[in-house]
């Protein structure tokens, strides 16, 4: 984005897997096991484009689209059962940035392809449930990432136009979803792939992002330099729009 005054956003939308937690090995183990059972292997491009950051429905369609409908539905059923308890580790800096943003009164949403049960388990484990004003999880939209539906719904639940939302994503599919929704994206991780997918800024990791107050405003900073202003609201978070 061109230099000059930093753009101002009214809400920040976070992906879960790969941004706030690292569950990559557990996710890949699940999908590689399913692929092996059906005599196929997952290529690096399939992992990048059709697994990580994608809805399970997209992954099943992309990886097993040649199989009969009953078999595809059984694969999806097994994913539903297994994904609730996938192992994960916290990403360094996750709690800190959420606490800083919510403490400043910035509206936050969690937008994830994880089930509501797993998402709630993770945010409870991290102790960050109260930071989020809204959550969008697997199955709440007709299409998952890389379609924009989940980010459109999250913006609506926050009462914001998508263009007023800043999204933090780690996967090209998630960046494409956010960009298609009209949001602006900070990509965390593989900079070339994230920029190619449409990320406006890229950071090597979440710890490179920080929150600061300057001249009465709240800024999101990347490696110490301001990239976005953030408007604030009064009142506690409500975690609206989720399903048990």
Spatial distance between the Cα atoms of 8 and 70, rounded to a whole number of angstroms: 48
| Residue pair 172/48 in contact by the 8 Å Cβ criterion | yes
DSSP lists the bridge partners of residue 166 as 12, 184
Tally of CA atoms within 13 A in the half-sphere of 148 that contains its CB? 15
The contacts of residue 47 (CB under 8 Å, 6+ apart) are 28, 31
Count the Cβ atoms, other than its own, within 10 Å of residue 103: 11
b/e 19-44 (16+ beta carbons within 10 angstroms → b): bbbbbbebbeebbeebbeeeeeebee
Residue 149 known to be catalytic: no
Residue 68 known to be catalytic: no
Which residue in 206, 128, 158 sits closest to 9, CA to CA?
158
Catalytic residue among 15, 49, 50, 149: 15
Which residue in 52, 57, 50, 63 sits closest to 79, CA to CA?
57
Structure tokens given for 101: 């943003």
Kindly list the catalytic residues: 15, 17
């Amino acid at each position: 984005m061109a230099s000059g005054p930093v753009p101002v956003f009214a809400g920040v939308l976070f992906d879960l897997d790969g941004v706030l937690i690292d569950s990559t090995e557990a996710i890949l183990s699940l999908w590689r096991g399913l692929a092996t059972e059906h005599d196929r292997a997952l290529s690096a491009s399939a992992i990048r484009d059709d697994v990580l950051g994608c809805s399970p429905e997209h992954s099943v369609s992309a990886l097993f689209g040649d199989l009969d409908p009953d078999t595809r539905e059984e694969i999806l059923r097994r994913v539903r059962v297994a994904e609730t308890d996938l192992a994960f580790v916290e990403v360094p800096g996750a709690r800190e940035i959420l606490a800083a943003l919510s403490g400043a009164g910035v509206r936050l949403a969690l937008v994830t392809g994880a089930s509501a049960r797993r998402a709630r388990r993770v945010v409870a484990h991290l102790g960050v449930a109260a930071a989020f004003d809204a959550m969008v999880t697997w199955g709440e939209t007709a299409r998952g990432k890389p379609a924009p539906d989940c980010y459109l719904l999250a913006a609506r639940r926050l009462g914001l136009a998508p263009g007023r939302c800043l999204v933090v994503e780690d996967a090209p599919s998630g960046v494409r979803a956010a960009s298609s929704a009209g949001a602006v994206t900070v990509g965390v991780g593989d900079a070339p792939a994230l920029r190619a997918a449409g990320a406006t800024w890229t950071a090597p990791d979440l710890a490179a992002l920080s929150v600061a107050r300057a001249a009465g405003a709240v800024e999101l900073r990347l490696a110490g330099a301001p990239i976005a202003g953030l408007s604030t609201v009064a009142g506690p978070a409500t975690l609206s729009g989720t399903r048990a």
